[in-house]
Amino acid sequence: MCSTRACAARCRPVQTKILFRITLLSLGIALLFAGLFFDNGRAGPLAQATPTRDRLAEPTLPPAPSQADRGAQVYWLSCLPCHGDFGQGLTDEFRAAYPEEDRNCWDSGCHGERPYDNGFKLPKSIPAVVGPGTLQKYADASILQAYIRVAMPFWKPGSLTEEEAWSVTAFVLRQNGLWDERVELNESNAGQVRVGAVAAPTPTSTPTPAKTEPDGDGGASIQVAWPVILGGVLLLALTLFFILSPKKSSQ
């Protein structure tokens, strides 16, 4: 009996070392799978932070700007303060993008009943210029451009040059999916660009559906969450623990 107990005592350190090594191996495999999971980009939203866009910043021009790209800068300077960064109009949500002291546009001393020196009174409602039904009263692009040239911006009507008026018209039409920019918009073709109720907005490009990468055998890709892998490895380690644990001999 004593001999058996002594043998068991000698075996325990060996079994403990084996169990310790198996546990370390299991954890290593789990960490390896977790590293591969994140390295493959399946945790994209956690791996990469999206920078906050400055909604009031001047748009940058591409290396070869189009007419509408130049119009985006005209819009930023002369239209965005009232019509919004997305053409949504002077909404509460858009005004929240301004510094706190500039958010209540209709206060006295700002653009309310008693505007600041050389200031102007702002209408209570400023319409959107981008979105369904926003340009219905303009039959075609030539009428829209003529209105912009004469009546805009609200605070200084007629101050845009002819070229600026065409550029910002092209920009607004592009944002509404009504202009494809294959040629520059001008008085010779603007009458053919339908805008109002008779116009059918045509997207400038066809969205391409996202493709799913197939697995090596051609099947659909199966994404397995790393906690499942980790749990499986730990379960394996626990099973081995019970298998290798010494059993108490009955007396």
In the chain, the amino acid numbered 227 is P
Q: Which residue bears the tokens 């219905």?
A: 136
**Residues 78 and 184 both lie in one domain:** yes
Burial environment of residue 84 by CB neighbours within 10 A (0 to 12, 13 to 18, 19 or more): buried
**Residues 121 and 149 both lie in one domain:** no
**Residues 141 and 184 both lie in one domain:** yes
Measure the CA–CA gap between 55 and 74, rounded to whole angstroms: 15
**Residues 2 and 64 both lie in one domain:** no
Measure the CA–CA gap between 222 and 215, rounded to whole angstroms: 8
- The DSSP secondary-structure symbol of 102 reads G
pTM of the model: 0.58
Which residues span the domain enclosing 192?
57-89+127-200
What pLDDT, on the 0 to 100 scale, is given for residue 191?
A: 96
What pLDDT, on the 0 to 100 scale, is given for residue 52?
A: 81
Confirm if 90 and 82 have CB atoms less than 8 A apart: yes
What pLDDT, on the 0 to 100 scale, is given for residue 176?
A: 96
**Residues 30 and 143 both lie in one domain:** no
Q: What is the per-residue DSSP string for 181-226?
A: -SS---TTTGGGSB-STT-----SSPPPPPPPPP-TTSS------H
**Residues 181 and 138 both lie in one domain:** yes
Tens-digit pLDDT profile for the chain (251 aa)? 455 555 555 555 656 666 666 666 666 666 656 655 554 555 445 446 667 888 999 999 999 999 999 999 999 999 998 999 999 998 999 989 988 877 877 676 667 666 666 677 778 788 999 999 999 999 999 999 999 999 999 989 999 999 999 999 999 999 999 998 889 999 999 999 999 865 444 444 434 444 434 444 444 444 445 565 666 666 666 666 666 666 555 44
Measure the CA–CA gap between 117 and 5, rounded to whole angstroms: 101
In the chain, the amino acid numbered 249 is S
What pLDDT, on the 0 to 100 scale, is given for residue 232?
A: 65
Instruction: Specify the number of domains making up the chain.
Output: 3
What pLDDT, on the 0 to 100 scale, is given for residue 122?
A: 78
